């Protein structure tokens, strides 16, 4: 074959090879930048599983100098870290402010007491009351004070039967149903055994130890039935008899491990010093004075609270409650009713109300008002105000058992601050007068309480002091028959 022929064959081969390199369908690139006719092969990744070192392999390296040094380094780092965390925890604990120990609390300190002098005010007496305990539970009521329920004719001791319920109030079986449901709701029940409750005096004239003995026997009977306490009136008179101590033993000696029975008493003594003396000498668990209704002067009211402040866990505050009167008799307008509700819920002690006070019910002459459950708009608003106050007191330690510091008071107004440890602080200011008052929130430096320049409104009946608005504590004006609760945080 000639040389030219060999060259021609080589050109044909080269042309063929070049032709095969071009796309079979033209010069346009395909999707992804690949040319048509190109073939991509995907080689699957190999699955590589790390199974770790075998036991034999670990044993081979375990004793090597490098691994020994590594273990010692890790061990030292671990213990250094552990000691550092321990030291840091100790520093935090030491530097953190100490919490103040919580004082001893009983069920009557945890929420308002709700007096029902006449169950007949409910549609079906005690039977109807049992069905309404849910509503009372919504108000955070912690204690019901029922009665007096027993049979007696006014000023006739011969008709007295302290173990028998008046027919218009209900039956023993209905009372047992109330006690059972109340227990499930966390509500304690106290029975009022004041003998001559419809007479000229709470106790019969010429009363002797025999009458106190009857009360003692009745107390034992009702406690065995399941009540959580006994109440009597005119403590000064009753406690003067020798049998008083036996009554105390029956009531206070009958308690379970988790719940104490309460001996409750109402007093009509005009001076706070006399009330304090009775607390110290009679041994009652909770006393209900009439100091707020017997004096409407702000300065005197503050003095009375000052005297009884140190015994706040044993004092129940009411306005008319000590004489089984509704709040509306003393507070004739809805503004005054809300004012006194705010005051009672924030005083150092237990708030005590009579049924219907949360609605502003008024008596019909000498008859008890009928309890209302289907509320109108005004009653609903009053109910919500009452509930908000009760809710707040139940969860704020400053209001439950906090320290109390009064500000300057006037004839028609008073104010004070409640403080507990690192909890939120609360200021109460009320003006039951017919004119506005200018209030200044100042405390002596010796009290050890630092007030901020301003505090925020928590609850108010004064339209000029809107909720959440800041108020200058240096000076602010409170309208007539108005009340406000302010709050400010603990700052350390």
Same domain, 386 and 434: no
Indicate the range of 220-224, 321-325, 447-451 predicted with least confidence: 447-451
CA separation for the pair 154, 381 (Å, rounded): 39
Examine residue 449 and state whether it is found in any structural domain, yes or no.
yes
Same domain, 341 and 414: no
Examine residue 15 and state whether it is found in any structural domain, yes or no.
no
pLDDT tens by residue, 379-416:
999 999 999 999 999 999 999 999 999 999 999 999 99
Sign of the alpha-carbon torsion through 102, 106, 109, 111 = positive
Residue 197 has pLDDT above 60, yes or no: yes
Tell me if residue 402 falls in helix, strand or coil: coil
**Which positions ≥6 away from 230 have C-beta within 8 Å?**
190, 191, 192, 193, 215, 219, 222, 223, 247, 251, 261, 262, 263, 264
CA atoms within 13 A on the CB side of 367: 7
Long-range Cβ contacts of 294-298 (<8 Å, 24+ apart): 294/268, 294/270, 295/270, 296/432, 297/411, 298/409, 298/410, 298/411, 298/412, 298/413, 298/414
- Could you tell me what percent of the chain has a pLDDT over 70? 86
Same domain, 275 and 140: yes
Residue 25 has pLDDT above 90, yes or no: no
Mean pLDDT for 114-129 is 90
Residue 62 has pLDDT above 50, yes or no: yes
Same domain, 198 and 292: yes
Sign of the alpha-carbon torsion through 245, 267, 146, 118 = positive
Q: How many domains does the chain have?
A: 2
Looking at residue 446, its pLDDT comes to 65
Residue 260 has pLDDT above 50, yes or no: yes
Q: Which domain holds residue 129?
A: 107-395
CA separation for the pair 391, 98 (Å, rounded): 27
What's the pLDDT band for 123 if we cut at 50, 70, 90?
Answer: confident
Examine residue 283 and state whether it is found in any structural domain, yes or no.
yes
What's the pLDDT band for 259 if we cut at 50, 70, 90?
Answer: confident
CA distances from 459 to 277, 395, 462 (A): 35, 16, 9
Same domain, 415 and 390: no
Mean pLDDT for 362-368 is 78
Mean pLDDT, the chain, integer? 87
Same domain, 321 and 235: yes
pLDDT tens by residue, 427-478:
999 999 999 999 999 988 767 788 999 999 999 999 999 999 999 999 999 9
Do the beta carbons of residue 425 and residue 416 sit within 8 Å? Answer: no
Same domain, 445 and 365: no
Examine residue 243 and state whether it is found in any structural domain, yes or no.
yes
DSSP state of 27: S
Same domain, 328 and 305: yes
Global confidence as pTM: 0.81
**Which positions ≥6 away from 64 have C-beta within 8 Å?**
none
Examine residue 62 and state whether it is found in any structural domain, yes or no.
no
Mean pLDDT for 119-123 is 84
CA distances from 462 to 347, 385, 390, 459, 480 (A): 20, 14, 20, 9, 9
Same domain, 214 and 115: yes
Length of the chain: 492
Examine residue 461 and state whether it is found in any structural domain, yes or no.
yes
């Amino acid at each position: 074959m000639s040389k030219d022929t060999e060259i021609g064959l080589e050109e044909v081969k080269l042309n063929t090879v070049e032709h095969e390199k071009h796309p079979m369908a033209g010069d346009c690139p395909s999707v992804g930048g690949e040319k048509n006719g190109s073939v991509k092969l995907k080689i699957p990744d190999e699955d590589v599983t790390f199974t770790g070192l075998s036991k034999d392999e670990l044993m081979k390296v375990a004793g090597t100098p490098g691994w020994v040094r590594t273990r010692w380094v890790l061990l030292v780092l671990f213990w250094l870290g552990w000691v550092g965390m321990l030291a840091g925890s100790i520093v935090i604990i030491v530097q953190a402010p100490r919490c103040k120990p919580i004082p001893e609390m009983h069920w009557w300190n945890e929420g308002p007491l709700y007096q029902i002098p006449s169950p007949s005010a409910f549609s079906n007496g005690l039977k109807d009351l049992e069905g309404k305990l849910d509503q009372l539970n919504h108000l955070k009521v912690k204690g019901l004070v029922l009665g007096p329920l027993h049979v007696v004719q006014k000023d006739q001791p011969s008709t007295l039967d302290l173990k028998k319920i008046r027919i218009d109030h209900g039956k023993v079986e209905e009372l047992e149903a109330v006690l059972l449901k109340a227990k499930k709701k966390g509500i304690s029940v106290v029975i009022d055994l004041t003998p001559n409750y419809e007479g000229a005096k709470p106790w019969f004239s010429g009363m002797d130890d025999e009458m106190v003995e009857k009360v003692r026997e009745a107390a034992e009977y009702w406690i065995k039935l399941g009540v959580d306490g006994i109440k009597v009136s005119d403590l000064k008179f009753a406690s003067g008899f020798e049998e008083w101590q036996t009554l105390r033993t029956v009531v206070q000696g009958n308690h379970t491990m988790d719940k104490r029975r309460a001996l409750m008493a109402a007093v009509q003594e005009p001076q706070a010093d006399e009330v304090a003396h009775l607390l110290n000498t009679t041994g009652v668990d909770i006393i209900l004075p009439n100091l707020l209704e017997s004096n409407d002067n702000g300065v005197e009211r503050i003095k009375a609270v000052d005297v009884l402040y140190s015994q706040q866990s044993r004092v129940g505050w009411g306005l008319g409650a000590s004489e089984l009167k509704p709040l509306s008799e003393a507070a004739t307008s809805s503004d005054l009713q809300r004012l006194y509700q705010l005051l009672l819920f924030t005083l150092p002690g237990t708030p005590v109300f009579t049924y219907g006070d949360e609605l502003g019910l008024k008596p019909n002459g000498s008859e008890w008002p009928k309890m209302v459950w289907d509320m109108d708009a005004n009653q609903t608003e009053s109910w919500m105000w009452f509930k908000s106050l009760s809710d707040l007191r139940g969860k704020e330690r400053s209001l439950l058992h906090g320290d109390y510091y009064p500000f300057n008071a006037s004839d028609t107004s008073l104010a004070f601050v409640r403080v507990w440890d690192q909890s939120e602080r609360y200021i109460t200011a009320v003006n039951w007068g017919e004119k506005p008052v200018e209030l200044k929130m100042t405390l002596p430096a010796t009290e050890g309480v630092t007030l901020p320049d301003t505090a925020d409104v928590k609850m108010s009946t004064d339209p000029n002091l809107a909720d959440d608005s800041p108020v200058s504590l240096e000076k602010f004006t409170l309208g007539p028959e108005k009340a406000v609760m302010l709050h400010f945080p603990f700052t350390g």
